[in-house]
Every structure is written in C-alpha cells, then in structure tokens.
Amino acid sequence: MSEKIIVSRDYGVLRLLMNRPEKKNALDREMYRALIAALDAAAGDDAVRAVVFAGAGGNFTSGNDLADFRDFAASAETFPALTFIRAAASFDKPLVAAVTGDAVGVGATLLFHCDLVYASPDARFKMPFIDLALPPEGGASLLVPMRFGMARASQYLLLGEGFDGEAALRLGLVNQLAPAEAALDVAMAAARRLAEKPAEALRAARRLMRGDPKEILARIDAEAALFAKALTSPEARERFAAFFASRPR
C-alpha cells in the first residue's frame, strides 16, 4: 500500500490515514488507488467492522490534486476519484471521519457518505466547485440539500462559502467537536464502539437508514459526466490557468 495512505488496524477498525502533509493531503491518482484497494479489501474482510478516514499533519484533505483533473476530462469513467467516491457511497460497513484543518472539495463531500464525523472547532470545510467553473461532485448536489436544506446548500455550493467546525456541528454534518489533537482518538473510540455491535444488525440498520444507494450512485455519475465536460470549457481552463500561475515555482 502506498506510503501516501497509511493503513493500520485497531481490533475491528481499519484506519486510512491520508499522508501527504506537504500538499495538505491533496489526493492524487496513487492515493485514490490505495484508498479504493483498502475499501475493496475491507468490504470482503469480516474482521473489519468499521473504517476511519483521517489526515496527517493537521489537515484532513485539501481535495483533488488539481493537476490530475486534466486526466479526468480524458477518461471520467476510469478516473480513480470517481471510482473512490462510488466505493464509499456503496460501502456497507460504517464509515467514520476525523477532521482537522482543511476538508475541501472531495474532502468535504466524502463526509456526507460517512456515518459519524468528528471535527475540531476550527476545521475548515469548503466546496469550491463553481469557483473553478465546475459542477458539484461526489453526490453533493443531492446530499447537501438533503442534509442542510436548500437555503444553506445554495450558500455553500452556489456561493462556495466556507464554514468551520462549529457551523458543521449546527448543520448536522458533524456529530461532535473535539480539540484537534484529540479528534482522531474520539473518532477511533466511536469506531471501536461500532465494531462491537452485532454486524448484521448494524448493516441492516444502515441500509434502512440510507435507502437504495442507486439514486446516489446515479447522481454521482450524472455529476461526473457534467464535471468532465466542464473541465474542457473556456471558463474552467481560465480558472485552472490562473491557479497554476499563482503557485510558487
């Protein structure tokens, strides 16, 4: 498994630590492939009862590595970011997240597929898709209005405003706040509690609560088709050129 994704086990809990701190854990193709492989293995391993996502170095993840978006436009169907979010959306065991620092783009939308989310009060959530001339992804266009209501969804998806851990708690995205240094411990403790529950009853409860995943998967695919098309638009090329021009050389 890639060193950019550190995989560890704690009894029945599989921890997936995004480990690219120099890039605020921006997810590249290698990291996506490692996460997909880990979820695929966990799905078939009865010893794994819950999965925890976390980030190293003070940030959850700053989202997709923007350099990889060029490949997404060429092959959206096989791009690993799409495969990963579909894997998370259809995973039938509990998903838990520990969020500190930045949770941007897919780093934010992933949380809507988690059962429990623990965050530091000063965590920073942002879904800036439209600012990059792109539509929402990861099922966000469906899940954010469902969770937040249309007014708040418009604020965070259309205006692209950021919000902190305190706001995420009020909005119902986060279950509990914890100091940054304790967020992962709190998330792991919750995951261990889930791992001790009767497995089949837990899966059944999740299926009943979440409903048929086909609607979410269909929305993810519809977003991805629009996303790939948007990446080739003059607006998106202009926004991306400005982004890369502003990066330190």
pLDDT of residue 244: 66
pLDDT band at 1 (very low <50, low <70, confident <90, very high): very low
pLDDT score of 221 more than 60: yes
Segment 46-80, tens digit of pLDDT = 999 999 999 999 999 999 988 776 665 555 556 78
Span 185-189, mean pLDDT? 98
Residue 229: inside a domain: no
**In-domain check, residue 113:** yes
Please state, as a whole number, how many other Cβ atoms lie within 10 Å of the Cβ of residue 230. 17
- Is 188 a domain residue? no
- Give the per-residue pLDDT at 2: 53
The structure tokens listed for 136 are 């929402």
Enter the DSSP assignment of 213: T
> Is residue 206 situated within a structural domain?
no
Is 106's pLDDT higher than 50?
yes
Token digits of residue 98: 């520990």
Q: Domain for residue 232, yes or no?
A: no
Structure tokens at 42: 């966990």
Instruction: Give the residue numbers spanning the domain of 59.
Output: 5-183+195-199
Q: What is the pLDDT of residues 162-171, one digit of tens each?
A: 999 999 999 9
> In one letter, which amino acid is 106?
V
> Dihedral through CA 146, CA 150, CA 153, CA 157, nearest 10?
120
Q: What is the pLDDT of residues 136-167, one digit of tens each?
A: 999 999 999 999 999 999 999 999 999 999 99
Instruction: Tell me how far apart the alpha carbons of residues 204 and 93 are, in angstroms, rounded to a whole number.
Output: 10
Q: Angle CA(8)–CA(12)–CA(18) in degrees, nearest 5?
A: 30
pTM above the 0.85 mark? yes
In the chain, what percentage of residues exceed pLDDT 90? Answer: 82
Mean pLDDT of 30-39: 96
142, part of any domain:
yes
Q: How far apart are CA 236 and CA 111, in angstroms?
A: 25
Is 238 a member of any domain?
A: no
Q: How many domains does the chain have?
A: 1
Check pLDDT > 90 for residue 83. Answer: yes
CATH number at residue 31: 3.90.226.10
- Over residues 190-219, the pLDDT tens digits come to 999 999 999 999 999 999 999 999 999 999
Count of other CB atoms within 10 angstroms of residue 242: 10
